[in-house]
Amino acid sequence: MKLWLLRPVDKLSNADDPWTPWHDKCFGFVVRAKTEEMARAYAHEQAGDENRGRFLNRVTSETTEPWINSKYSTCEELVASGDGGVVLQDFNAS
């Protein structure tokens, strides 16, 4: 198994951003899975309101699944090598 880090893509426009507004939503996952596709599926299953009934893009009227669609989220394999430190801190102050 591999570890995967999933995060929202930076710099989406507000009209095309499933994480706007920011409340009641997940902003990151670390997932254990064999493949990126499986990691994205696990994140999709555990999503918050960013995935509620599929996000409807207010500009294009397309439905999206932000944790499955690479337009909206990144999915990078985590490797053990590298400097020590925090892998994910997902903090949002109001």
**DSSP secondary structure code for residue 9 in this structure:** P
| pLDDT tens track for 3-47 | 999 999 988 887 778 888 888 889 999 999 999 999 999 999 999
Provide the whole-model pTM. 0.82
Query: Is residue 1 predicted with pLDDT exceeding 70?
Result: yes
| pLDDT tens track for 72-85 | 999 999 998 888 98
CB atoms within 10 A of CB 28: 15
Nearest to 55 by CA among 10, 18, 9: 18
Query: Is residue 55 predicted with pLDDT exceeding 80?
Result: no
The gap between the terminal CA atoms of the chain, to the nearest Å, is: 36
